[in-house]
Amino acid sequence: MDALLAQARDGLRRLDPHETRAAVAAGALLIDTRTDVQRERQGDLPGAIVIDRTVLEWRLDPASPNRIPEATGYDRVIIVVCRQGYSSSLAAASLRALGLHNATDLAGGVEAWLAAGLRMASTPADIRF
């Protein structure tokens, strides 16, 4: 698993929580792949779109008939977030393999976000199916 994770992260410029917040403010898509239980325990990220990991590629590929409206092009900056920053690296690598070359992830996941003292959302999550 360590080798697969290292391969997935090869070429990724992973973002820290403050870089992530700045990128979202500049128009990046923040995609939260955590489970309902994890989001219930940790809270929701401001500005994030929640997409189940099982359909992530279909929702973000601009050529997919099942894409979300925000999946406007292969140059779009996409930041994937999970609880600790492991599965998000694998998801970002998968998106890059689809041609979304600006896909990356939040290093350390939501745990790093919380440790950095950044606030969580005060409004309900934007959940997409």
- The per-residue pLDDT for 129 is 87
The full set of domains in the chain, from first to last, is: 2-128 (3.40.250.10)
Q: Quick one: average pLDDT of 69-77?
A: 97
Helix (H, G, I), strand (E, B) or coil at 110: helix
CA distances from 69 to 5, 24, 42, 49, 93 (A): 30, 17, 27, 12, 22
Query: What distance in Å separates the CA atoms of residue 52 and residue 36, rounded to the nearest whole number?
Result: 9
Q: Quick one: average pLDDT of 60-83?
A: 98
Q: Quick one: average pLDDT of 76-81?
A: 98
